[in-house]
Amino acid sequence: MSDPTNKDVQPSVAKASASVAVPVAPQAPGKAIHAPRIVGAKSKESIWTLRRALPRSYQIPFLLAFPLMIFAVWCGLTLGAKPAVDKLFLPSPVAVLQATLRMLFDGTLIQHIQASVLRIAISFLAASLVALPLGVMMGAFEPVNRLFEPIMAPLRYLPISAFIPLLILWLGIGEEQKIAFLFLGVFVFLLPVVVTAIRAVPDELVQTALTLGASKTQVIFTVLLPASLPDIFDSFRVMNAISWTYVILAEIVNARSGLGYMIQLAGSHLKTDEIFSGIMVIGVIGIATDAGIRFLNGILFRWREAGV
């Protein structure tokens, strides 16, 4: 005698099995089985997507493409038996390299680099020692900001080169004038950066510290400064670029050493290859120091890079 329960269950099981089973088409021998394409799946994103990081495989080609293009045009215009452009106006890469090696081996290039680096280091350190505490006070206390802002704000819009005659009148034509000029060029741009970084610290952090009993001095040194230092330190990259931009102007006036002096002297003797050499040396040093600042920033403030 058959069980009626089994009769009811068997059709249900068969129906469920039919709904789950997926038919697979027979494959020819030697051919791989490919997964079915999912309808609606997103295609690979374009490298021109807005604000999207460039894939690693494209980074080096894009990094080298434009410099190599410029170098190729430069070689095409200056190399050969009859170059398209006279060497007085545009020296060849070979001539620039020869001039650089010549000045490097006779010691003059190293001497000029040391003089410029020393001036920039002293002025950069002096500007930081003044701008950091003053910027912290202006960002933390509104009365201090109201006191100094009417004088500091217009300085950002004045051409720093216009102060050269005054600095010569006040300090003479020695090293003091050059360092003061570089100091002024860095200070007027670094100060507002410090003020903005201090004010960008969330007010919740300040209020929490005050609620826990911290004094104003403790809030400055344990909340405001640690939270703003990554942005301030990152701005040193811009200040470094400003310093190397202004060093040419600083060393024009009665200098006997420095890359700016070297470029001016080469220009007066129509040595275009040495002018190009000086410009490229400044560019290489600027890029190297910028990379050093970025490296230190990543080490000192690794917690920000990790998104903490």
Q: Which of 294, 264, 257 is nearest to 279 (CA)?
A: 264
Q: Residue 259 has what pLDDT?
A: 94
Angle at which helix 108-140 crosses helix 225-250, to 10 degrees, equals 140
Which domains does the chain possess? 93-305 (1.10.3720.10)
Q: Is the full-model pTM beyond 0.75?
A: yes
Q: Residue 16 has what pLDDT?
A: 45
Q: Residue 39 has what pLDDT?
A: 47
The pLDDT averaged over each successive group of 10 residues in the chain (308 residues) is 48 46 49 50 69 86 92 92 90 94 94 95 95 95 93 86 90 91 94 94 92 92 93 91 90 88 92 94 93 90 63
Q: Which of 73, 74, 104 is nearest to 92 (CA)?
A: 74
d(CA 270, CA 2): 114
Cβ pair 101, 154 in contact under 8 A: no
Tokens of 304: 């920000």
Q: Residue 203 has what pLDDT?
A: 92
Q: Residue 3 has what pLDDT?
A: 52
CA-angle at 234, arms to 229 and 236, nearest 5°:
105
Find all residues with CB under 8 Å of 255, minimum gap 6, and list them. 115, 178, 261, 264
Q: Which residue carries 């009148």 as its tokens? A: 169
Tokens of 290: 């910028």
The count of other CB atoms within 10 Å of the CB of residue 167 is 21
Q: Residue 44 has what pLDDT?
A: 65
Q: Residue 195 has what pLDDT?
A: 95
Cα 87 from chain centre: 34
